[in-house]
Structure 1
Amino acid sequence: MGELVVIRHGQTEWSLSGQHAGRTDVGLTAAGEAAARGLAGRLAGRRFRAVFSSPLGRAMRTAELAGLVGVEADPDLLEWDYGGYEGLTAEQIRAARPGWELWRDGVVPGDAEHPGETLAQVAARTDAVLGRIRPLLDGGDGGDGGDGGDVAVVAHGHLARVLAVRWLGLDAADSRLLGHPHPGTLGVLATEDGLPCISAWNARETA
């Protein structure tokens, strides 16, 4: 069975400042672009059967700079819609809502462009992604008659955590147990003895 490589987009001004960037299309910084290019060395040895990306520019640009080709935009890979918390830092949110914790308390509704999502809605999107990707990994129904192979996705920090725990068959709220992936890093979702596992997380470019 192939492996699912999960890439977080490179650094943006908002990831640097700690602002929640859900649907706001913030571009990569120079450091973010450099980190994305650096991933090419880690990815060069793999032949990806398919590559999917969040349609936001920071993810698509990361895929391009990392040398990925044939990238298909998938709206189910968009980051959590943070609603009224879009653009705010955790400190700003807790100033108005002491003790707030994203995985437990969620977000509040925002404007028409940022209505907000529940964790269950985010998990439903990641489950849909995994439902489409698993046949490509095992070769059961890839649509091209080929054998299984590796698949890459380029997405966002919180979305990647939910995707990983759902791969493991855990509840989406268990995402809090997995460290937040740094910008421009990758994780590898794999299997061992037929069971799902995480074989790499927060991995950076090769030296």
Structure 2
Amino acid sequence: MGELMVIRHGQTEWSLSGRHAGRTDVPLTDAGEATARALAPKLAGRPLVAVFSSPLGRAMRTAELAGLTGVEPDPDLLEWDYGGYEGLTAEQIRASRPGWDLWRDGVVRGGADHPGEQLRQVAARTDAVLDRIRPLLDDGDVAVVAHGHLARVLTVRWLGLDPSASRLLGHPHPGTLGFLATEDGQPFISAWNVP
């Protein structure tokens, strides 16, 4: 059985400053583009049976610079819709909501462009992605290019854990790889945050 490679998009100005970039299509920085290019040699030797990406430009551009071909945009790989917290840092949110924790407290509704999404909704999207990917793994490796919080939810759902367990994973750094595999029918993380 193949591995599921989880690739976080390269650095953006918002990831650099800690701002929540859900559906806002923030471009890669020069450093983010360089990191994405640096993934190419690591991915070149792996025959992939399928590649899926968030349709946002930062993810699609990362896939392109990493040398991935045949990339299929998948709206279920969009980052968490942060609603009224879009563009804010955790510190800014906690200034008006002391003790706030994304995994426990979720987000507040935003405007029409950012209505907001709760953890169970993000998990339902990642479950749908995994349902489509699992059969493909019989034929080899599959790659997804996505976002930090989404990647954490996807990973814990791969492990069969409650979505709230996502808080237990370190945030994947921009432009890094994670590898999800199975052994004796049991899912596990074979590597995480690989530069």
TM-score (norm 2): 0.99
Which digits, 9 at most, give the CA deviation of each residue in 1:143-187, with x for residues without a partner? xxxxx1100000000000000000000000000000000000010
Deviation at 1:42, TM superposition (A): 1.2
Identical pairs, percent: 84
Measured after TM superposition, the shift of residue 23 of structure 1 is: 0.2
Name the residue aligned to 1:131: 131
* Corresponding residue number in structure 2 for 1:190: 181
Alignment of 1:153-164 (within 5 A): 153-164=144-155
Q: CA deviation at 1:104?
A: 0.2
Residue 174 (str. 1) matches residue 156 (str. 2): no
- Counterpart code for 1:132: R
Question: Which residue number in structure 2 is paired with residue 144 of structure 1?
Answer: none
Letter in 2 for 1:195: Q
Mapped to 2, the partners of 1:180 and 1:42 lie a distance apart of 21
Residues 56-111 of structure 1 show CA distances to partners (whole Å, capped at 9, x for unaligned) of 00000000000000000000000000000000000000000000000000000000
- Match of 2:145, SS state, is strand
Q: Equivalents in 2 of 1:65, 1:86: separation in Å?
A: 27
Match status 1:165 vs 2:156? yes
- Other-structure match for 1:58: 58
* More moved, 192-201 vs 163-172: 192-201
**2:8 matched to which residue of 1?**
8
Report the CA distance between 1:45 and its aligned residue.
Answer: 1.4
Structure 1 residue 41 displacement after superposition: 1.5
Displacement of 1:194 in angstroms is 1.7
How far is 1:44 from its partner? 1.3
CA distance, structure 2, for counterparts of residue 45 and residue 128 of structure 1: 28
Cα distance in 2 for partners of 1:42, 1:125 equals 28
State the AA in 1 paired with 2:40.
A
TM-score by length of 1: 0.94
CA distance in 2, matches of 1:200, 1:164: 11
Structure 1 residue 31 displacement after superposition: 0.2
CA RMSD of aligned residues (A): 0.4
Aligned residues: 195
Which string of whole-angstrom CA distances, capped at 9 and with x for unpartnered residues, describes residues 105-138 of structure 1? 0000000000000100000000000000000002
DSSP 3-state at the match of 1:19? coil
The C-alpha deviation readout for 1:13-38, integer Å capped at 9, x for no partner, is 00000000000000000000000000
Query: The residue matched to 2:63 in structure 1 has which SS?
Result: helix
Give the AA of the match of 1:175: S
Secondary structure at 1:64 match in 2 = helix
| Structure 1 CA distance for aligned equivalents of residues 45 and 191 of structure 2 | 16
Q: Which residue of 2 aligns with 1:96?
A: 96
Structure 2 equivalent of residue 145 of structure 1: none
Deviating above 2 A after TM superposition, structure 1's stretches of 4 or more consecutive aligned residues are: none
